[in-house]
């Protein structure tokens, strides 16, 4: 299926690993011009730059922490300089950790909230003025926000915030013809899943109707749909991509 995204200008946060990397490569293969950011892993960034060099289009990989206003401003300067305007924004950058609430320090709460929720505010606040009618925003939330997960109170709270922000913002953006939707992934095989023991992984598999973890490309496919006009009457929606948890 063609998503007719040829020539679209896209910003993807957290684009160098896992789901974000699959999203960047899928969009570039569809003919988009992509600016992707990452926080600190320069090797993964170099790998992505190398892979993007093989696809036509104007691409750029920029170090910028989405939780830092000054770094987001620099990232958006790059979008302006390289692309001029934006058609699609994918807020994917995410931080996670596993800590019992009783031992959850304010600094760790803040780190996760800064990336997952304040990062979304900073990115959208800066990027929306570059978008016009027909624009699409896709935020990566989490199934965890719907079901609740022990040791992840900070993470689930931030992802529930992503849903609330998107639902309200869709009403402000609708009159400008800009849509915003959220994807709630289940358990996806990324860096985040690498530390699982075989027993934990089996337990997660058993939680899904399909009996397996998801692949980053299976989230990227839904991003393509939500970024494109194929979803032109969808806004404020949350799409669960979780293998039937």
220 lies in the binding site for ligand NDP (CB under 6 A): no
Q: Return the closest-CA partner of residue 174 out of 238, 127, 234.
A: 234
Residue 15 contacts residue 88 (beta carbons within 8 Å)? no
26 lies in the binding site for ligand NDP (CB under 6 A): no
222 lies in the binding site for ligand NDP (CB under 6 A): no
For the beta carbon of residue 82, count every other beta carbon within 10 angstroms: 15
- Pick the binder of ligand NDP from 29, 31, 41, 238 (CB under 6 A): 41
- What does the per-residue mask of binding to ligand NDP show for 183-202, with x meaning CB under 6 A? --x-xx-xxxx---------
**CB of residue 48 to ligand NDP, shortest distance in Å:** 8
Given the complex with ligand NDP, which of 56 and 211 has the nearer CB atom?
Answer: 211
Q: Largest Cα–Cα distance in the chain? A: 50
**Catalytic-residue membership of 38:** no
- What does the per-residue mask of binding to ligand NDP show for 119-158, with x meaning CB under 6 A? x--------------------x-x----------------
- Pick the binder of ligand NDP from 9, 18, 76, 170 (CB under 6 A): 18
76 lies in the binding site for ligand NDP (CB under 6 A): no
- Pick the binder of ligand NDP from 25, 30, 38, 127 (CB under 6 A): 38
Known catalytic residues are: 155
């Amino acid at each position: 299926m063609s998503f007719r995204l040829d020539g679209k200008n896209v910003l993807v946060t957290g684009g160098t690993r896992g789901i974000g990397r699959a999203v960047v490569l899928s969009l570039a293969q569809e003919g988009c011009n992509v600016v992707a950011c990452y926080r600190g892993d320069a090797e993964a960034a170099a790998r992505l730059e190398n892979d993007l060099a093989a696809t036509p289009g104007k691409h750029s990989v920029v170090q910028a922490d989405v939780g830092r206003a000054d770094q987001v401003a620099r990232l958006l300067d790059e979008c302006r300089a390289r692309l001029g305007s934006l058609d699609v924004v994918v807020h994917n950058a995410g931080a996670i950790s596993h800590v019992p609430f009783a031992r959850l320090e304010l600094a760790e709460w803040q780190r996760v909230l800064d990336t997952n929720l304040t990062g979304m505010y900073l990115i959208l606040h800066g990027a929306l003025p570059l978008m016009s009618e027909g624009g699409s925003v896709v935020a990566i939330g989490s199934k965890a926000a719907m079901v609740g997960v022990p040791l992840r109170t900070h993470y689930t709270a931030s992802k529930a915030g992503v849903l609330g922000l998107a639902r309200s913002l869709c009403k402000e953006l609708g009159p400008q013809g800009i849509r915003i939707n959220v994807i709630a992934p289940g358990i996806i095989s990324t860096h985040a899943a690498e530390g699982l023991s075989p027993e934990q992984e089996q337990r997660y598999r058993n939680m899904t109707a399909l009996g397996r973890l998801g692949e980053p490309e299976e989230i990227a496919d839904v991003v393509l749909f939500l970024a494109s006009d194929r979803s032109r009457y969808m806004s404020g929606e949350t799409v669960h991509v979780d293998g039937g948890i």
